[in-house]
């Protein structure tokens, strides 16, 4: 990616990769695809691509009124990006001119610059009015169907509204959260997270360089909160990257081992720990091969479908198709069983996934209890003032959904449960 590329050109590249190559945005960013851009341009490119993916169904509905047939993907994505901007109040002259220039710059697309110009001038005229009449974009059927079976159509509609609204920026303070909220003009959430209405360039926010906070959705803070780490306890963060929960545990005074099998992802953990001046032992290893401990407590944020994070990662429904569900579900079960072998007698295991699928949450715990009869779910660990009683699930865990805390800006979808063994085992 050339440093001379504009944010719009880079956003089209991201759309091409997600919609054409089915690559996740996080994968693109971790492969340093945008590293040559200035931080502000990188942030804008990501925002443009993310907003386009979030509104893709509406965008395509607006465009199809002005297209006889679907154009090649590159041209289609240029049109999509421009339509999103135009329907969101972007300057028509600048948006259309840039889209035409991007089309003209490609040898395979330059012959379509007239089409792009004509279509976007119609969109600029009628698009904003059409936009507001269209339904909230829906999840693709491969995901909507199992979620509707689990929650019902009314709840899925609320979840889709939350997805379309997007996600604010949540920060976890290393020190005084109330002071951080005042410093950044943010809102202090019931769990202690600081919520900012708009994100922008994260690294430009006050306190970033000095490590006063880290980015972490409010829902993602709860697994470490219910684990209740104590100073001096030996705790394993079993799938640690990118390190938010590791930093929470370390800030409590616990002796933390952060485990992950990706050297690239663990580099981010190392950088985050260095920035926040927190300490943890880093271990790059397959979680199922780990033989450390025994530990007082283990936090297992297991690999999952990540379907609970769509409001901030709208690329996911377009880059995935659900084919990995069974593999992930089997892996989660194996990780639970292995984690139990690493615990001290009387130790506690927090199992969590950022998934909306019960098979990756409630069902996992029910099956773990069947496989290991001496296990029980510690419901008392969930008695916190910031945990709504509506979040409690029948088997003893927590089910968080994007439509919860809607008046505050929502939450990522998560499942969390605390497991213990009976003391005579």
**Which one, of 94, 194, 147, 118, lies nearest residue 408 by Cα?**
194
Instruction: Write out the E strands in 58-186.
Output: 169-173
What residues contact 360, with CB distance under 8 A and at least 6 apart?
302, 304, 305, 328, 329, 332, 353, 415
Q: Is 354 a catalytic residue?
A: yes
Residues belonging to the chain:
425
User: What DSSP character marks residue 7?
Assistant: H
End-to-end CA distance of the chain: 57
Phi, psi of 160 (to 5 degrees): -65, -35
**Peptide bond connecting 242 to the previous residue in cis, omega within 30 degrees of 0:** yes
Give the whole-angstrom CA distance, residue 375 versus residue 392.
Answer: 19
CA of residue 332 relative to chain centroid, distance: 19
H or E segment and range at residue 350: strand 343-353
Q: Positive or negative, the Cα torsion across 37, 40, 46, 52?
A: negative
Q: Are 404 and 366 in contact (CB under 8 A)?
A: no
Question: Of the residues 87, 239, 304, 354, which is catalytic?
Answer: 354
Give the whole-angstrom CA distance, residue 237 versus residue 349.
Answer: 10
| DSSP β-ladder status, 295-301 and 343-353 | parallel
Query: How many C-alpha atoms does 199 have within 13 Å on its Cβ side?
Result: 20
Q: Which residues of 175-192 are buried (b: 16+ CB within 10 A; e: fewer)?
A: eebeebbebbebebbebb
**What positions carry a catalytic annotation?**
354
């Amino acid at each position: 990616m050339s440093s001379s590329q504009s944010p719009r050109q880079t956003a089209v590249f991201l759309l091409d990769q997600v919609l054409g190559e089915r690559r996740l945005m996080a994968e693109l960013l971790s492969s340093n695809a945008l590293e040559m851009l200035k931080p502000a341009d990188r942030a804008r490119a990501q925002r443009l691509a993310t907003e386009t993916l979030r509104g893709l169904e509406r965008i395509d509905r607006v465009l199809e009124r002005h297209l006889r047939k679907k154009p090649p993907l590159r041209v289609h994505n240029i049109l999509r990006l421009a339509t999103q901007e135009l329907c969101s109040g972007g300057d028509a002259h600048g948006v259309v001119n840039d889209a035409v220039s991007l089309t003209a710059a490609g040898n395979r697309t330059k012959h379509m610059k007239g089409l792009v110009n004509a279509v976007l001038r119609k969109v600029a005229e009628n698009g904003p009015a059409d936009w507001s009449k269209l339904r909230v974009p829906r999840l693709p059927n491969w995901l909507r169907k199992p979620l509707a079976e689990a929650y019902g159509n009314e709840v899925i509609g609320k979840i889709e509204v939350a997805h379309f609204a997007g996600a604010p920026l949540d920060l976890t303070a290393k020190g005084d959260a109330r002071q951080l909220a005042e410093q950044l003009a943010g809102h202090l959430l019931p769990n202690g997270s600081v919520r900012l209405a708009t994100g922008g360039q994260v690294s430009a926010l006050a306190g970033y360089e000095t490590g006063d906070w880290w980015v972490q959705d409010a829902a993602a803070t709860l697994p470490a909160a219910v684990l209740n780490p104590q100073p001096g306890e030996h705790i394993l963060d079993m799938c640690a990257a990118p390190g938010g929960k590791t930093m929470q545990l370390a800030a409590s005074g616990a002796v933390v081992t952060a485990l992950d099998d990706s050297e690239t992802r663990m580099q981010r953990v190392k950088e985050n720990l260095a920035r926040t001046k927190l300490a943890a032992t880093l271990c790059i290893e397959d979680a199922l091969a780990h033989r450390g401990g025994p530990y007082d407590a283990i936090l297992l944020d297991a690999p999952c479908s990540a379907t609970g994070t769509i409001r901030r990662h709208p690329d996911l429904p377009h880059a995935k198709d659900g084919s990995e569900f069974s593999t992930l579900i089997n892996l989660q079960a194996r990780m639970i069983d292995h984690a139990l072998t690493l615990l001290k007698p009387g130790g506690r295991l927090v199992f969590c996934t950022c998934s909306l699928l019960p098979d990756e949450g409630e069902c996992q715990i029910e099956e773990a209890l069947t496989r290991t009869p001496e296990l029980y779910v510690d419901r008392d660990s969930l008695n916190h003032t910031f945990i709504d009683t509506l979040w409690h699930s029948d088997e003893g865990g927590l089910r968080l959904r994007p439509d919860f805390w809607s008046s505050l800006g929502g939450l990522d979808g998560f499942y969390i449960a605390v497991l213990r063994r009976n003391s005579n085992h």
